[in-house]
């Protein structure tokens, strides 16, 4: 049964399904996309904590690193569950001016 499940998840070619990473522990891991945001108005660690806390509540966000000195937030998310536009809106709604620097 497990072999059938793995074969189904991998497809006939043995390659992971689109948008998924390798199989680990019997489950397919969703592939995360990274967005780097410029966050103007962020001045302290409390600001960084607020941003991390708000983004942690967004379905699909896998992790957030915030650099107060560099005024940057790096967000890892699953593109099929949320969008960079949603992420920008969440941070903007906290009162910050946000611009996407890069997405990969």
pTM > 0.75: yes or no = no
- Reduced to 3 states (helix: H, G, I; strand: E, B; else coil), residue 56 is helix
One digit per residue, the tens of pLDDT, for the chain of length 104 reads 444 444 444 444 444 444 444 444 544 567 889 999 999 999 999 999 999 999 999 999 999 999 999 999 999 999 989 999 999 999 999 999 999 998 77
Distance CA 42, CA 48 (A): 7
Q: What is the pLDDT of residue 29?
A: 60
The residues facing 40 across adjacent strands are 97
Q: What is the pLDDT of residue 78?
A: 95
Distance CA 100, CA 91 (A): 11
């Amino acid at each position: 049964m497990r072999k059938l499940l793995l074969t189904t998840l991998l497809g006939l070619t043995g390659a992971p399904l689109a948008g998924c990473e390798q199989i680990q522990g019997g489950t397919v891991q969703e592939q995360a996309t990274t967005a780097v945001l410029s966050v103007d108005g962020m001045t302290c660690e409390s600001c960084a904590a607020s941003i991390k806390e708000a983004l942690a509540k967004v379905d699909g966000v896998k992790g957030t690193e915030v650099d107060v000195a560099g005024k940057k937030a790096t967000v890892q998310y699953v593109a099929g569950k949320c969008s960079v536009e949603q992420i920008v809106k969440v941070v903007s709604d906290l009162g910050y001016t946000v611009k996407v620097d890069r997405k990969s």
